[in-house]
Structure 1
């Protein structure tokens, strides 16, 4: 992917006659034509004049943005998220199959050693000065830089975006504030992907990606709460995808509550996937303190309209451990611990993939007996971290 630290408007062409001709076309035709441009050409078109700048702003409806420190990290993340396939990676800027859809991956150049730092590294043989080495940034520094770029993009294109996906290490207050204010009523699909198990160099260790990100007040900006938020937050979402998100159960409740049109909720390694949220989602209030959210104006079952619910790689879904040694429960009580699923009347897909401490037999029996959900993924783990990896003897 191209090594760029920011999105710039650098016109590569300008034809006044062509621009005058475009002005005579209906806006619908102009937007249709712009949908066939790659992102670089769209930026160039927007830099020619003010009317064209406005056209290029409203033409961007679907955007996938990833910001990384190394090109290889970007390539692997694009493949794992399904944003690109190996054939598409030959192109730096990918205009997707859908209208006005763009996948953009930025590689932020590594910082050089500071001028104030001593540079007296010598070879024991030639006594010549060694070249300056790239200084890896800390995770906090990289998160700040990632969100600076994200903020600039959202502030410019947020009001026209309907589909937005952001791939980075975490979300901070600046990025969340821009998202909550600029995409308040227009955004339909939001995906925040912060899990990258293949990145484990420098200061980042493999254990970083095994747990949710730290809890943060940044998520308050998405629900319209806090001193930094001047709006009521996101209100028109139909799809929410959160991977390795530090959003708390209460923040997740409020985010779902403020988006009554929500149909798809996919959580992976998410801090908010806790029993208090799940029981609230299914309309069961007993035993939990956060029942004030379920006010009289709220539907009896907040998750009644959900069609897709994924709880993947979430290990704290149960309020109490399940003792498999006990005698099996009767059919009407066989979903003990998961009674909240009964309140999700519209559910078509439910996934517990890679979620620990959940007996697969329990989920399978409960679905066949009570839930009757067409598509259920049982909580089988895809891999065991403590198991050995089999190697073909021919490659030893």
Structure 2
């Protein structure tokens, strides 16, 4: 009997496949070459997390809001109404190395010539884990990247292989990208707690994602939303990435190396791109389409601390943050956890000059009347 589904129009096939759970979708893709092509185009939205331990995966998914406690029984969830999958992958542990010839056994049993070996689980280094995470990420993007519109990746960092997969498979069709590399709950193995307090190391992998130098034919250029947590991207690289995606309306950066005055002044039109000194002025700043800008847990937003400016008149009460004035489409601006900024300073600048509907202060502003917290049990 012939395969009847292959006789249907592709649009109808993709609509039918959108109702399948992820496991069934994979099984369908293995039935024939034509069905393989169809199932790779069916995946529109994907959230992928790769971790070393299951508990790391569970906490990360819950913190990011990718899933709820009721859904944790299933690592792959399907949201009704769109082809949207959340997949968590836990890396298998490395087999303990066998003791070398002549090595002294760690434990002996008294009164017996037999010795018992207690194998110790070998942990991957942080660099090894990043490579393994990106290897899996690359395999997934190589297969499904053509059809993806929304992609979120949760790991420890992005390397050149992962960036190359994004730059070649998701150039124009991807509209939403979230790279989440901040996991403060992971405190064991090769990862120190201080790892998550600062951005990841700088890397040339971002050059591949942007499409510069010898990668000029590559790069992502269709983003509407960009979210990055604990990213090692530099101010210049971040400038090039935003410039390559002119339709960007949502930019959320947390613990990001690139959030520095050089980038922010360019975004708000206070400085120009050094690579295009003769660019024509069309009256539009690079960030004129941004509606949401979050700069959270970023400690280098201002060159000088607020105290240097002293008491300022209303016309210049946002000194050091004048770039905000150029972002005329902003509806939401967040400085949450950027504790080097004064909440009073931000609040006054917004009331007097910016007038943005939603501004999230670095930390609560209580003045001299800070509330006293009392344990309800003692009341």
| Both structures adopt the same fold (TM-score exceeding 0.5) | yes
Alignment correspondent of 1:284: 270
Aligned-partner SS, 1:364: helix
Q: 1:357 to 1:121 in 2, by over 3 A?
A: same
With the length of structure 1 as denominator, give the TM-score of the two structures.
0.87
CA distance in 2, matches of 1:394, 1:59: 53
Matched, 1:93 2:76: yes
Q: 1:165 aligns with which of 152, 159, 173?
A: 152
Matched, 1:180 2:180: no
CA distance in 1, matches of 2:264, 2:155: 27
Q: Retained in 1: the 8 A contact 2:109–2:116?
A: no
Q: How big is each residue's C-alpha offset from its partner over 1:127-173, in whole Å with a ceiling of 9 and x where there is no partner? A: 54134232111100000000001111111111111101000000011
CA distance in 2, matches of 1:177, 1:80: 28
CA distance in 1, matches of 2:252, 2:233: 13
Q: Retained in 1: the 8 A contact 2:168–2:219?
A: yes
CA distance in 2, matches of 1:369, 1:74: 44
Uncovered stretches (5+) of structure 2, i.e. residues with no partner: 366-372
Q: 2:286 aligns with which of 302, 317, 320?
A: 302
Q: Give the aligned CA root-mean-square deviation in angstroms.
A: 2.3
Alignment correspondent of 2:196: 209
CA distance in 2, matches of 1:297, 1:185: 26
Uncovered stretches (5+) of structure 1, i.e. residues with no partner: 1-16, 383-389
Q: Retained in 2: the 8 A contact 1:68–1:108?
A: yes
CA distance in 1, matches of 2:104, 2:46: 43
Alignment correspondent of 1:318: 302
Pick which of 124-133 and 316-325 moved more. 124-133
Matched, 1:361 2:361: no
Alignment correspondent of 1:3: none
Q: 1:265 aligns with which of 243, 251, 267?
A: 251
Q: Retained in 1: the 8 A contact 2:224–2:248?
A: yes
Q: What is the 5 A alignment of 1:242-257?
A: 242-257=228-243
Alignment correspondent of 1:120: 105
Q: How big is each residue's C-alpha offset from its partner over 1:82-132, in whole Å with a ceiling of 9 and x where there is no partner? A: 100111111121112341111000000110122464583324557541342
Deviation at 1:392, TM superposition (A): 6.8
Q: Retained in 1: the 8 A contact 2:107–2:118?
A: no
Aligned-partner SS, 1:285: coil
Alignment correspondent of 2:368: none
Q: 1:147 aligns with which of 134, 157, 161?
A: 134
CA distance in 2, matches of 1:130, 1:24: 61
Q: 2:124 aligns with which of 118, 132, 137?
A: 137
Aligned-partner SS, 2:252: strand
CA distance in 2, matches of 1:294, 1:346: 25
Pick which of 64-73 and 315-324 moved more. 315-324
Deviation at 1:244, TM superposition (A): 0.1
CA distance in 1, matches of 2:222, 2:190: 38
Aligned-partner SS, 2:163: helix
Aligned-partner SS, 2:227: strand
Runs (4+) of structure 1 exceeding 6 A deviation are 390-395
Q: 1:255 to 1:119 in 2, by over 3 A?
A: farther
CA distance in 2, matches of 1:294, 1:323: 34
Q: 2:143 aligns with which of 156, 174, 189?
A: 156
Deviation at 1:292, TM superposition (A): 3.2
Aligned-partner SS, 1:64: strand
Aligned-partner SS, 2:295: strand
